[in-house]
């Protein structure tokens, strides 16, 4: 879906300008996105298999939920909305923990230029995975993996991307801290 999004500068500050997501990806405009990593207290991580129709990384087992922040939308509200839309899981602000912001810059072979500020959250899965309802245009499948996969992506084919192993280790450590609180 081509949605209207805010443009931010190289520091992540809002510029007051908006554009369509497709324009941001065509011209490389920086923009905010959300990543929500959903875990269980028995050290599992929920991953989604990206729909085969996705323009980037189709069929890859990836972040539990991720998406773009709509123009004028509050970051946290975007995270809650994306979780509801993509996997049918309702969470509330107090269940969502922001663990950081990550600058991501990648030029994909298909011409998409991703210059994004990922606002990264973790949240606990409090319902059985069988109760989740996937948005088929975004998600092909959901599965719980051992949390340790975040520290060993190279051992799996088509699960996460090994070049982002430091990011995954950061998420792993944040989840372990939260579980042990």
Average pLDDT over residues 67-93: 97
In degrees and rounded to multiples of 5, residue 76 shows phi and psi of -60, -40
Across residues 92-115, what is the average pLDDT? 96
**1 pLDDT higher than 80:** no
What percent of the chain has a predicted confidence (pLDDT) above 70? Answer: 99
CATH number of 4-179: 3.90.79.10
pLDDT at 162: 87
pLDDT at 154: 80
Q: How far is CA 81 from CA 14, 76, 85, 103, 142, in A?
A: 21, 9, 6, 22, 18
Give me the pLDDT at residue 158, please: 86
Determine the average pLDDT of the residues in 33-56. Answer: 96
Residue 147 has a pLDDT of 96
64-79: average pLDDT: 98
Residue 62's alpha-carbon distances to 36, 38, 40, 73, 105, in angstroms, are 11, 11, 17, 24, 17
d(CA 142, CA 144): 7
């Amino acid at each position: 879906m081509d949605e209207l999004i805010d443009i931010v500068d190289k520091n992540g500050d809002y510029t007051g300008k908006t554009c369509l997501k497709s324009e941001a990806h065509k011209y490389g405009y920086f923009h905010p996105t959300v990543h929500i990593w959903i875990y269980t207290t028995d050290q599992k991580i929920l991953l989604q298999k990206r729909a085969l129709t996705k323009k980037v990384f189709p069929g890859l087992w990836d972040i539990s939920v991720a998406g773009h922040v709509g123009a004028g939308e509050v970051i946290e509200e975007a995270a809650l909305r994306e979780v509801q839309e993509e996997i049918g899981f309702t969470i509330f602000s107090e269940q969502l923990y922001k663990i950081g912001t990550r600058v991501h810059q990648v030029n994909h072979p298909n011409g998409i230029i991703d210059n994004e500020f990922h606002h990264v959250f973790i949240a606990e899965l409090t319902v059985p995975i069988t109760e989740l309802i996937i948005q088929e245009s975004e998600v092909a499948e959901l599965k719980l993996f051992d949390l340790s996969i975040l520290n060993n992506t190279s051992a799996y084919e088509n699960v996460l991307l090994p070049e982002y192993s430091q990011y995954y280790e950061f998420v792993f450590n944040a989840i372990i801290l939260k579980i042990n609180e």
